[in-house]
Structure formats: C-alpha cells, structure tokens
Structure 1
Amino acid sequence: MATGILSVGLFLTGHDVLSEILLAIASLLWVLLAADFTDLIARDRARWTKSAITPPALTAVAATTVVGTRFSLLGWQWLAITLLVIAAVVWPVLLLAVVRHWQRGMPGGVFLVCVATQGLSVLAATLYFAGKGEWLGDAALALFGLGLLLYADALLRFDFRQVWEGAGDQWVAGGALAISALAASKLTASPLWTGTGHEFLRNLTYVLLALALAWYATLAAAEAVRPRFHYDVRRWATVFPLGMTAVATLSTGVVTDVPWLRTLGRVLLWVAVAVWGVVWVGFAWARVGGPRGGAPTPPLPETGAPPQTPLLKRRRG
C-alpha cells in the first residue's frame, strides 16, 4: 500500500521513472504477500482464521486496489480489472470477519475497514473513467457512502490515546479520510452527477480533505512532542496515510482547479517519499540485527495504483 500509493503520486507529478520503479517494488511485494496469504490458508487454516478477524487483514484488499489503480493509470486495464475482481471477492469475507470481532479501544488499524472499502471505490471509478462500464461509476458511489459509514463506526471504537502512544498505525485515522477525499474527488469529476449532486460531492471533497489535513497536523504534532524513533512494522501504516494525503490533495487540486492544493500535494508527496526511505532503512537495520526499541510486534502485511482520467492526470510544472 505505502509503495503503491507513492507510485501513483509520482506518476501524477510527472516522475515516470521513479513511479515505475516503485510500481515494480509494490508489485513484487504484492505477489510475495499474496503467495504467503494463499499458503497460510492451505497449511494453517486456524492461524489464517485468527489473522483474518483482525483489521490488518484488510490491507490485502487495500493493497490490491492501490496497485490496481496504478496499473489502470499505466493503461493495463485488463490487469486492473483482474485486481478489482480479486479485491471485490476477498473484501466482503474479510470485512464481515473483522466487523464481527470489533471491540472498543482499538488501535488505528480499525480504520482499515474504511480504507479497503474506499480503495474499491477509487479503483472502480478509475476503471469507469477508462471506459470499462458506466455501472462502475455507480458502484464507486455506493462504496464511497459505505466507506464513510464504516469510518464513523471505526471512530467510535478508536482509542484516542493512540495519537500519543501509537507505534505508527494511528496515522490510518487520517489516511482513511484522505482516501475518502480521493474517492470523492473522482466522483466529483464524473459526468454521471450534475447540478446539486455535483456541488454536494465537490463540497464534501473539500470537507474530507480538510479533515484529513487536520488529522495530519495533529498526528505530526504528537510525533514531535513525543518522538518514537525506533523501528516498528506498523510504521508502514504511517507511510501510506502520508502518501495518500498527498495524492488526495493533488487530485482535489486538479478537479477543483485550485493551484495551491496542487503545490501542497507536491510538498506532501516528497515528505512521504522521505519517510518511506527512512522506514526502509529501519526495516533493513532491524533485519540485520540492529537495535530496536519498543516491544516486539507481530508481523503485519505491508500497508505499502491509458486514457488518463479527468481526475488522475498529470500536471507538469
């Protein structure tokens, strides 16, 4: 997810070579994680079931939609459609399993119910703009609405102490709103909705992006006041929201024709790229036996997307 969304952002800002390098990395990681996911089902069903009821399991859906979106932008619509089908089949199974085991006082991963759902909305809308069926636009709108409802429910279950104490996944609280803003901006660009419906979607895009940026500022301030420098696998769940906020800001700036949002999106993108690099260094250092702070944590999936659409198109300069 983290690497895939940065590939999308770099594509939107005209850095094709870097974007394709990150897409190759994201694709390789997706294949490895998909193989591990399948192998776990075949070899240890009990362990798979235990993992499937936790919110991080939904990174399987979210990562698939992000990579699918990037392939659609690359013009590989057949592969994007295949990934959409895979994500759509897995999504209800994992979503129901996770929701049925929700509790109060959960960490930031609880917002992955929204991220996975909005990821489907974004990919469906991207394929709609690529001319793969008007029904995909309607599906994107339905998924977008469901994603917002899931966010509201997740917010009630989120432990707000995680803002100060979280090991990285607390950032998903803002990332979920950012991907919601991205989905809203795509819907705003769609000719399926005009008049009052278009204005509502446009204003909702602004609101969601503003809330995502507010989360960004709050979480960044909390990190500055209470630094957490040690590597933790949940730091990948920090990189994805950083990248998603950048992409949502870029996309909203294009759709609404607000230049300063495009500029802000570029700045946020390079911040996300820098943090991505730092987390990779931390990961490599931990793998070779370097010192790590904090309590050990169980491994989680990484949370790190033709004809160009009216939304996800590049602006140079």
Structure 2
Amino acid sequence: MQSQPAASVPALADLSPACFAMVMATGIVSLAARMHGWRAAAVALFGLNIVAWLAFGMLTALRATRYPGRFFGDLIDHRRGPGFFTTVAGTAVLGSQFATFGLPAPAAFGLGAVAAVLWFVLTYAIFTAFTIKEDKPTLDQGITGGWLLAVVATQSLAVLGAILAARSAQPWKLELNFFALSMWLWGGMLYIWMMSLIFYRYTFFRFAPSDLAPPYWINMGAMAISTLAGSLLIVNAPDAPFLQALLPFLKGFTILYWATGTWWIPMLVLLAVWRYVYKRFPLRYDPLYWGAVFPLGMYSAATHEMILALQLDFLSWVPPLFLGVAVLAWTTALLGLGRHLLRLRRTA
C-alpha cells in the first residue's frame, strides 16, 4: 500500500513538457476528419481532446506546484524548454475545434485568449532565459527539431484568429484578421531563423540515431500549419482591405510553405528508415511521438484548405491519403500510450 504513492511521485515529476502534443495531434486529426465528412470520428476525437486538455492541464499545474524545481528547470533547458509550446498549440487547436464545430463563440474566444497569454509568457520567458543563462550547450547538443514548436504555437494562433475572424462581425473581423496576419508573418520569420540553425546542425555535426527524435517531423509540420494559416487568410481577404492588397503575397508564400513542407516528407521518411531499420534503434513509446502525428494530420488539413483557397483541384488526392496515414499514426501512438500506462501500473 505504501509503494503506490512512491511510484507516482517520479511519474508526475518527470511529466514531459511536451505532453500537450497529444492534444495537438488529436485536435488536428479531428479537424481533418471533419473536412472529409467523417463526422462521427471527428466528434468523438473532439470529445476526447477536451478530456485530454483538461487532464494534461491539471497534471501540468500539479507538477508546477509540487515540483517547481523540476518544472522551471525544464523551462530554461535548451532541449526540454521548447516542449512547453505544445501547451499553446494544443490550446489554440482546441479553440479552433470549438469554433469549427459551431459551439458558442465565447468558448473559442476564451481558449484563444488563454493560448495568446501562454504564448506571450512562454516566448519571452524561454528565449530570454536561453539568452542570459551562463552555462549553455553547444549547438549540436542544444538545438533539436522541437524548437520549431515555437513556430507551430505562433501559427496556431494565426489559424485560430483567422477562423474566429470568419465568424465575427466588424470591427472584430478586421482586428482578428490583422492579428492572424501578424502572427503568420512572425511565424514564417521564426521558421527561417530556427530552420537555418537546425539544417546547419544536420549537415555539419555528427548525427546519431538518438539525435533523430520524433519532433524532427515538426520540420514539416511547421510549414504545414503555416500553409493552413495562409490559406485561411486568402479566404478571408474579401472581408479585410489590407488582406486584399496583399493577396499575391499571401498566395505566393502559402505555396512556398506548402512546397517546403512537401520537400521535407521524403527526407524525414529516409531518416526514419535509417534510424529504425539500418541503425535498428529501438521503437519505444515516448510522448514526443505525438509530435510526429500532428504534422501528418496538419499536412492533410492544410492541403485541403489550400486546394479550396487556390482552386488546385489536381491535388485533391493528397488530403485523404495523409488523413489515412495520420489516423494510423494516431492509433499507433494511442496504443503505445496504453501499453506505457499499463507498464507504469504494473511497476506501481
């Protein structure tokens, strides 16, 4: 009877900062399923996502209060700190679900406000800490694909802002579209900064199988969500004069983001084969694997919206294909989570 609490203590203390990646992945698979008419699956995943968001929110709050040293130590850690941006992206994606499923607007606006506050606090807390801390890792030890979660968090606010703008009256429509445009532009600039460092680390430092963590799929996912935000802004252009004036720019950069994300897919598949087949790296459950599910679902949703925004009907075969892959990956990750929880229970 005394061993169970003792076993539960390290489980909470070691809770991954990227735990909200499951919320991100479940949310975008739900939204993509709804786009393709899978109404029952979309609603079921929506309900599950609400439960997951509440559960991880409570666990994160408990960890911050019971183990503040571990919590804030992770916040300023170069490898683990960016994982906190999943909190922002998960909250914004859930807000997009509330808005898209036609539920009362205050819920979506409330989640958007929470996500925006979290984005502001985490962005300036994490990057200020990385700047002023005295002991810093070298580039090859400090940066990972997980850093691009900061881009995903930024673009998730752009997506939610554009969705809310389409469902709001003036003058909120103009203000929300301007907010979405600003976040979209900043997210694109942030990707350029970070991807330059990540690509440099890829090509000029030794790369071990253990270095290829699942969040490297965010290389593609960050571009996919940028494509989705750009497509939504194009659709909203008739309601905002400044978007209308920028329409050629919006269309060009949206295709640029989609093409960049598409380029990453074969590269990431090859690296995964090298890691798991050639190097025989063990495949064990890790919360970070949800960060690999999210880009697949996002690529499906983003391509679907881009086709509608730019009339690219010849790409219509792409979204259902990647939705199927995303559902398979989501199911695999869920089974892995179930086995992991059973293992923890046996240990307790």
Q: Same fold (TM over 0.5)?
A: yes
Residue-by-residue CA offset, 1:234-272 (whole Å, 9 max, x unaligned): 211100111111111111011111123232011111111
Separation in structure 1 between the aligned mates of residue 272 and residue 217 of structure 2, nearest angstrom: 10
Q: Is the 8 A contact 1:164 1:223 kept in 2?
A: no
Counterpart secondary structure, 1:14? coil
Q: Is the 8 A contact 1:163 1:219 kept in 2?
A: no
Do residues 219 (structure 1) and 268 (structure 2) align?
yes
Change in Cα spacing, 1:195 to 1:233, as seen in structure 2 (3 Å) is: closer
**Greater per-residue helix proportion:** 2
Separation in structure 2 between the aligned mates of residue 63 and residue 19 of structure 1, nearest angstrom: 16
Separation in structure 1 between the aligned mates of residue 330 and residue 63 of structure 2, nearest angstrom: 28
> Which residue is equivalent to 1:197?
246
Separation in structure 2 between the aligned mates of residue 164 and residue 182 of structure 1, nearest angstrom: 31
Unpaired segments of 5 or more residues in structure 2?
1-23, 132-136
The within-5 A match list for 1:81-120 is: 81-100=109-128, 101=130, 104-105=139-140, 106-120=143-157
Separation in structure 2 between the aligned mates of residue 164 and residue 23 of structure 1, nearest angstrom: 33
Residue-by-residue CA offset, 1:201-253 (whole Å, 9 max, x unaligned): 11111110011111122101221333253332221110011111111111101
Q: Is the 8 A contact 2:233 2:243 kept in 1?
A: no
Separation in structure 2 between the aligned mates of residue 271 and residue 262 of structure 1, nearest angstrom: 16
Do residues 41 (structure 1) and 64 (structure 2) align?
yes
- How many equivalent pairs are there? 290
Query: Residue type of the partner of 1:258?
Result: L
The alignment yields a C-alpha RMSD, in angstroms, of: 1.9
Residue-by-residue CA offset, 1:148-173 (whole Å, 9 max, x unaligned): 12112211332324798413111011
Q: What's the % identity of the aligned pairs? A: 29
Separation in structure 1 between the aligned mates of residue 317 and residue 299 of structure 2, nearest angstrom: 13
The within-5 A match list for 1:1-317 is: 1-53=24-76, 54-76=81-103, 77-100=105-128, 101=130, 104-105=139-140, 106-131=143-168, 133=172, 134-158=174-198, 159-160=201-202, 161=207, 165-190=211-236, 191=238, 192=240, 193=242, 197-227=246-276, 229-289=283-343
Counterpart secondary structure, 1:29? helix
Q: Is the 8 A contact 1:147 1:180 kept in 2?
A: yes
Query: Residue type of the partner of 1:137?
Result: N
Bigger RCO of structures 1 and 2 (CA < 8 A, at least 6 apart): 1
Change in Cα spacing, 1:226 to 1:39, as seen in structure 2 (3 Å) is: closer
Change in Cα spacing, 1:223 to 1:21, as seen in structure 2 (3 Å) is: same
Separation in structure 2 between the aligned mates of residue 262 and residue 62 of structure 1, nearest angstrom: 27
Larger-gyration structure (1/2): 2
Unpaired segments of 5 or more residues in structure 1?
291-317
Counterpart secondary structure, 2:258? helix
> Which residue is equivalent to 2:20?
none
Using the size of structure 2 for normalisation, the TM-score is 0.79
More displaced, 102-111 or 198-207?
Answer: 102-111
Query: Residue type of the partner of 1:201?
Result: L
Q: Is the 8 A contact 1:243 1:272 kept in 2?
A: yes
Separation in structure 1 between the aligned mates of residue 309 and residue 159 of structure 2, nearest angstrom: 15
Counterpart secondary structure, 1:288? helix
Query: Residue type of the partner of 2:292?
Result: T
Quote the offset at 1:196 in angstroms: 5.2
